[in-house]
């Protein structure tokens, strides 16, 4: 009875481990069997002649030992062999060379064996738990999670998830104005999972562009449904961000959908990011137009793009230059990050030339769609257009040769008359 109680006691302990560590039944059975076998192998040099049977439904286990019957005087290893006289006590029919299987009780191995088993089991479960934690969060990289602040240190914050797992939010991954107290809930994206010496370390981030993208996915159903795609994101955490979006449905205005009625959708994101200003713009594969949109709210007079070197020169009227650069240079920095182009800003002296004329004044002679095409390549005035070669206008504005010739004739004539 005592042996049975000891057996049940050990199984209860294993059950506690199972509940605590959230390990599935099959894995737990394998861990139990392997732990028993490890202890048996240490005690007897081998576990090959043992059958370990785990009964999870009953909450117990059985250990059976297999030995070969030998003559009494030939007995050399009582773990692998059994003397004929002993075998006949079990069953008088046994003969030399036959195999005897009898049940052994782990409790009979002594307290040291039981202690060894517990230590082995605890070690294996800890290893499994680490593997499970690593695999779980490896799959969550790039996803938003919520965790509770457990400890605030100078260089990082220690958080606990719902299962009590430890997560780290380093200072450099925090928005500069972030401030948390113990017990508060933090939302962040899983940035990476380090696994040095099988010791997983989960690193969170609130400064990653992925965090901003996931927030948009949560707030804007059209993004989550795949009707709108976030093409690019540029962030200076806690200060300002630019997001380029594209819609695959002509009926949907991607910028309007992301901002929401009276800013309803974007306000929640701005609050989460500590009042980070967010500019949402329409994405386009047209580099010149994309740069113009990225540098908004400034309006460009003209632009020259070197696609091979990923460089662009933008010319603006003097009053637009400060808007293009932005407070502390944030606007131009974000525009460069978003477009992946080096953008140089110049004051357009011609832009304030009183003799120059805006293209919008030629709508009586030039179709509006042609004017829009010219604006898309950074030409807002007549002199902007005339400064380019005929071939460059045809290629960049994607206009017919005859159309470009007619535009050049009209614009040139204007200045010849003067």
Give me the pLDDT at residue 14, please: 56
Domain annotation covers residue 94: yes
41, 112: one domain:
yes
Q: Token pair for residue 40?
A: 């048996």
How high is the pLDDT of residue 354? 56
Same domain, 242 and 225: yes
Q: Indicate whether 89 pLDDT > 80.
A: yes
Question: Sign of the C-alpha dihedral, residues 264, 270, 274, 276?
Answer: negative
Judge whether residue 24 has pLDDT over 80.
Answer: no
* Coil, strand or helix at 391: helix
> What pLDDT, on a 0 to 100 scale, did the predictor assign at position 182?
95
Q: pLDDT band for 404, please (50, 70, 90 cuts).
A: very high
Write the pLDDT tens digit of every residue in 267-278.
Answer: 999 999 999 999
3-state secondary structure of 46: coil
For residue 188, give the CATH number of its domain. Answer: 2.40.50.140
Say if 340 falls within a structural domain.
no
Q: Is the pLDDT of residue 13 over 80?
A: no
Same domain, 8 and 79: yes
Considering the domain architecture, whether residues 38 and 109 belong to the same structural domain is answered as yes
Q: Report pLDDT for 5.
A: 44
What is the predicted pLDDT for the residue at 23? 66
Residue 315 placed within a domain: no
Residues 102 and 165 in one domain: no
Domain for residue 323, yes or no?
A: no
Same domain, 111 and 153: no
> How many domains does the structure of the chain reveal?
4
- Dihedral angle computed from the Cα positions of residues 387, 389, 393 and 399, in that order, rounded to the nearest 10 degrees: 130
222-245 mean pLDDT: 95
Token pair for residue 413?
């004539």
How many other β-carbons are positioned within 10 Å of the β-carbon of residue 26?
9
- Domain assignment present for residue 393? The answer is yes
Position 168 in a domain: yes
DSSP code per residue over 129-142: HHHHHHHHHHTTTT
| pLDDT for the residue 357 | 80
pLDDT above 50 for 109: yes
- State the number of CA atoms in the 13 A half-sphere of 62 facing the CB: 9
Lowest mean pLDDT among 121-125, 167-171, 314-318: 121-125
Domain end (from 135, 164, 195):
135
87 dihedral zone (left: phi>0; alpha: psi -120 to 50; beta) = alpha
The answer to whether 294 and 283 are in contact (CB under 8 A) is no
Share of the chain above pLDDT 70, in %: 91
Q: Is 198 inside any structural domain?
A: yes
Question: Are 67 and 81 spatial neighbours (Cβ–Cβ below 8 Å)?
Answer: yes
Instruction: Compute the chain's Rg from CA coordinates.
Output: 37
> What residue numbers bound the domain in which 215 lies?
208-283
Question: 320: pLDDT confidence band, cut at 50, 70 and 90?
Answer: confident
Shared domain for 43 and 163, answered yes or no, is no
Q: What is the mean pLDDT of residues 112-127?
A: 82
Q: Is-contact 101 65, C-beta < 8 A? A: yes
Angle between helical axes of 318-325 and 330-339 (0-180°, round to 10): 70
Q: Could you tell me if residue 337 is inside a domain? A: no
Residue 352's pLDDT is what? 46
Same domain? 6 vs 118: yes
> Kindly report the CA angle at 364 between 359 and 368, in degrees rounded to 5?
55
Domain termination residue (choose one: 154, 170, 205) = 205
What pLDDT is attached to residue 380? 76
- C-beta of residue 348 within 8 angstroms of C-beta of residue 381: no
**Per-residue pLDDT at 392:** 86
User: Based on the domain organization, do 20 and 121 belong to the same domain?
Assistant: yes
- Please list the alpha-helical segments (H only) found in 91-199: 111-138
Quote the pLDDT of residue 1.
46
| DSSP secondary structure, 216-279, as one string | HHHH-HHHHTTSEEEEEEEEETTTEEEEEEEESSTT--HHHHHH-GGGHHHHHHHHHTTS-EEE
- Total length of the chain: 418
Beta-bridge partners for 343: 312
- Confidence (pLDDT) at 417: 54
Q: Two tokens at 241?
A: 């961000």
Distance (Å, whole) CA 68 – CA 195: 47
Residues 191 and 270 in one domain: no
Q: Residue 127 has what pLDDT? A: 85
pLDDT on residue 292: 93
Q: What is the CATH number of the domain that holds 230?
A: 3.30.300.20
Task: Name residue 81's beta-bridge partners.
Answer: 68
For residue 183, the model assigns a pLDDT of: 95
- Which of 112-121, 183-192, 353-362 has maximum average pLDDT? 183-192
- Can you tell me the distance from the alpha carbon of 46 to that of 357, in angstroms, rounded to the nearest whole number? 96
Kindly state the average pLDDT of the residues 217-227. Answer: 93
- Which of 134, 99, 106 has its CA nearest to residue 120? 106
Look up the CATH number of the domain holding residue 102. Answer: 3.30.1480
Sign of CA pseudo-dihedral 293, 294, 300, 303: negative
Distance CA 304, CA 344 (A): 10
Q: What is the CA 189 to chain-centroid distance, rounded?
A: 6
Helices (H), 253-389: 254-259, 264-272, 287-294, 318-325, 330-339, 368-376, 382-386
More confidently predicted of 414 and 330:
330
Q: What is the pTM of this model?
A: 0.68
Rounded CA gap, 245 and 255, in Å? 7
Same domain assignment for residues 152 and 196 = yes
Identify the residue with better confidence: 369 or 15.
369
Last residue of a domain, one of 164, 188, 205: 205
The answer on pLDDT for 119 being more than 70 is yes
pLDDT value for 59:
66
Q: Could you tell me if 98 and 195 lie in one domain?
A: no
Residue-averaged pLDDT of the chain: 87
Average pLDDT over residues 102-107: 84
Does the pLDDT of residue 21 top 70, yes or no? no
Mean pLDDT for the stretch of residues 44-60: 83
């Amino acid at each position: 009875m005592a042996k049975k109680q000891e057996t049940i006691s050990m199984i209860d302990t294993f059950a506690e481990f199972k509940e605590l560590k959230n390990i599935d039944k099959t894995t737990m059975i394998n861990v139990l069997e392997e732990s028993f076998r490890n202890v048996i192998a240490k005690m007897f040099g081998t576990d090959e002649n043992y059958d370990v049977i785990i009964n999870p439904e009953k909450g117990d286990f059985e250990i059976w030992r297999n030995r070969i019957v030998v003559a009494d005087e030939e007995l050399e290893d009582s773990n692998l062999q059994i003397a004929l006289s002993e075998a006949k006590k079990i069953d008088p029919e046994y003969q030399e060379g036959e195999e005897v299987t009898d049940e052994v009780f782990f409790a009979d191995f002594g307290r040291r064996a039981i202690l060894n088993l517990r230590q082995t089991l605890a070690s294996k479960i800890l290893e499994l738990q680490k593997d499970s934690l690593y695999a779980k969060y490896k799959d969550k990289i790039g996803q938003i999670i919520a965790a509770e602040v457990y400890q605030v240190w100078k260089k990082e914050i220690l958080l606990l998830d719902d299962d009590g797992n430890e997560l780290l939010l380093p200072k450099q991954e925090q928005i500069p104005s972030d401030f948390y107290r113990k017990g508060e809930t933090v939302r962040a994206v899983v940035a990476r999972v380090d696994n040095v010496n099988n010791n997983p370390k989960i690193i969170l981030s609130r400064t990653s562009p992925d965090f901003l993208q996931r927030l948009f996915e949560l707030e804007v159903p059209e993004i989550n449904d795949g009707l709108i795609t976030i093409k690019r994101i540029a962030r200076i955490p806690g200060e300002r961000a630019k997001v380029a979006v594209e819609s695959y449905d002509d009926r949907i205005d991607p910028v309007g959908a992301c901002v929401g009625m009276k800013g309803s959708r974007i306000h929640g994101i701005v609050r989460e990011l500590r009042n980070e200003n967010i500019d949402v713009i329409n994405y386009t594969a047209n580099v010149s137009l994309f740069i113009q949109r990225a540098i908004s709210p400034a309006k460009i007079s003209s632009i020259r793009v070197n696609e091979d070197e990923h460089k662009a020169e933008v010319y603006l009227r003097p009053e637009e230059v400060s808007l293009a650069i932005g407070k502390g240079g944030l606007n131009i920095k974000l525009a460069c990050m978003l477009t992946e182009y080096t953008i140089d800003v110049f004051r357009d002296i011609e832009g304030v030339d009183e003799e120059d004329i805006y293209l919008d004044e030629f709508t009586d002679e030039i179709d509006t769609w042609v004017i829009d095409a010219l604006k898309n390549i950074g030409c807002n005035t007549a002199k902007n257009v005339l400064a380019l070669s005929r071939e460059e206008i045809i290629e960049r504005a994607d206009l017919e040769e005859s159309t470009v010739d007619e535009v050049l004739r009209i614009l040139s004539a204007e200045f010849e008359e003067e």
